[in-house]
Structure 1
Amino acid sequence: MTTFLAFYQNLGPALTLLVVGIFLLAGTVKGIIGLGLPTVAMGMLGLAMLPAQAAALLIIPSTLTNLWQLATGGHLSELLKRLWPMLLLIFLGTGLGTLWLGMGGGHSVVRALGAALLVYAMSGLFLPTFKVKPQGERWLGPWCGLITGIITSATGVFVIPAVPYLQALGLNRDQLVQALGLSFSVSTLALAAGLAWRGTLGGSEISASLLALLPALLGMWLGQALRQRISAVLFKRVFFIGMALLGAHLLISG
């Protein structure tokens, strides 16, 4: 239990409450729109702690909620056959990025996190939905995976360009939700391996991440309950605007 709580004792009560609130909010966002937990968590935690520390906290909540999302849908086998080149390059790109860039504590990492959030938000707000033809998947999928992996290793954000690419494949809603869960699961596990290799994911960080799972799950349940009562389109727009503002703040003040 000492190890379990040591991380939060070092953070202090105010920052601990902030972490709980952030994961509650991030889980709610994921419950409503099916994505956003690591993006919200990394962006908001980046205001108060080092990116590597924030990334360590999200490992277990992100992994378990993504596996939950991945387990539903009934399309896992066909998605693996279709997406394995991208998934493989996500893992390899994260490993390459860990060796090349890593996720240190400098201002450049915070600015990179802000830039990733800003690009993601702008693409969600303004870019039209692209369509990728089947013959284009052979080369575009691996490149998207490689770039996503490198960005993941540097910022802890694994939505660019994987999410726009998956949205462009013409998947139905159930397939897309499951494909996102699959991509995010691979990205999270690759990120965890990179953090462990660099010595920033130990027993206390894993224990602290396990505690962060509770508000994340509560948030997901709340988000799923709210999904039928609010406009998903309006919520997505507000979400992207919030991410844009947060990314701009991190980019300027980082």
Structure 2
Amino acid sequence: MFEQTAALPWLLPLAAAAVFVLAGLVKGVVGLGLPTIAMGLLALMMTPAHAAALLIIPSLVTNVWQVRPWRAALPLLRRLAPMQGGVFAGTLAGAWLWGAPAGAWAMVSLGAALIAYALWGLSGMQVSVPAGRQGWMGPLVGAATGMVTAATGVFVIPAVPYLQALNLGRDGLIQAMGTSFTVSTIALAAGLYMNARYDAAALGLSMLMLLPALAGMQLGQALRQRLSPAVFRKCFLASLALLGLHMIVYEGLVKAG
């Protein structure tokens, strides 16, 4: 996975660990952002497929932890089951159609997904989905999220805007995002395995990245008590938009030229 740094074999793992500290810190403050930050920055250093493979264990563990308390989450899990079925099916379908995230197309798609999510968050738009529409909208939103996940390794679009529109309350929204991200992570791992991009070596490296991710989360939770989450979230979203723009310009213009 780290063949790009044969001359400095320690440099890329060290940089990846720093990325996961930062991504964990963001998640600790605002409750999301670990996969988005990790994929966005790691994809600047390695292929999107390699970045997605590193993401699996840190994302899975931190998101399962976010679903707590698990007993209280059971009614929410039943409510979101159709959407999560769509997430899993969409991710596997995308993996079968396109393979693992790779190449300029995946990088441009990832950049577009980051910009779309950042602009939506910065717009402050508030929408609501009536209960009567959730039965058919949930699976569609889930399938669309799965397709984006398969193409980019990022699973916030359109899942997070949809979950925010369900008016679940603060704790319910955090649990819902943790649930959706957990399912997306498992589905992404299955898609990578299906395309022979997730083996024992990738699993071991992903497990190593769990420690810096957890350390970052601890720092983020401590920082949350001193920093306005709203201000931090605006800075985070603006940074994502710039990062996505960089990916699109670099892949679409610099490499193409």
Structure 2 length as normaliser, TM-score?
Answer: 0.93
Give deviations 1:153-194, integer Å, cap 9, x for gaps: 010000000000000101111111111100000000000000
Partner of residue 119 from structure 1, selected from 92, 96, 116: 116
Residue aligning to 2:255: none
Q: Say if 1:6 and 1:99 are closer, same or farther in 2 by CA, change over 3 A.
A: closer
Equivalent-residue separation in structure 2 for 1:162 and 1:136 (angstroms):
15
Does residue 213 of the first structure (1) align with residue 230 of the second (2)? no
Identity of aligned residues (%): 50
Corresponding residue for 2:164? 167
Match status 1:247 vs 2:206 = no
1:26 corresponds in structure 2 to 23
Matched residue count:
250
Q: Which amino acid aligns with 1:247?
A: G
- The one-letter code of the counterpart of 1:204 is A
The 3-state SS of whatever aligns with 1:84 is helix
Deviation at 1:62, TM superposition (A): 0.2
TM-score (norm 1): 0.95
The structure 1 segments of at least 4 consecutive aligned residues displaced by more than 6 Å after TM superposition are 5-9
Q: What are the Cα deviations for residues 133-153 of structure 1, in whole angstroms up to 9, with x where unaligned?
A: 101111111110010000000
Q: 2-side partners of 1:12 and 1:89: how far apart?
A: 40
Which residue of structure 1 lines up, in the alignment, with residue 106 of structure 2?
109
Number of the residue aligned with 1:69: 66
3-state SS of paired residue (1:71): coil
Name the CA distance, whole Å, in 1 between partners of 2:68 and 2:48.
29
Letter of the 1:21 partner, please give it: A
Q: Is 2:186 aligned against 1:189?
A: yes
Does the residue aligned with 1:123 lie in a helix, a strand or coil?
A: helix
Specify which of 10, 15, 31 is matched with residue 13 of structure 1: 10
Query: Counterpart of 1:64 in 2: which secondary structure?
Result: helix
Find the counterpart in structure 2 of residue 203 from structure 1: 200
The structure 1 residue matched to 2:84, chosen from 80, 83, 87, is 87
Query: Take 1:239 and 1:76, find their aligned partners in 2: how far apart are those partners?
Result: 28
- CA positional deviation for 1:127: 4.7
Deviation digits for residues 22-60 of structure 1 (CA, Å, limit 9, x no counterpart): 000000000001100000000000111000000000100
Asked whether the 8 Å contact 2:5–2:11 carries over to 1, the reply is: no
Which moved further from structure 2: 210-219 or 67-76?
67-76
Q: Are 2:131 and 1:134 aligned?
A: yes
CA contact (8 A) 1:28 1:221 kept: yes
RMSD: 1.7
Where do 5+ consecutive residues of structure 2 fail to align?
Answer: 252-257
**C-alpha distance after superposition, 1:104-128 (max 9, x if no partner):** 4311111111111111111111151
Deviates more, 1:190-199 or 1:101-110: 101-110
Report what 1:238 is aligned to: 235
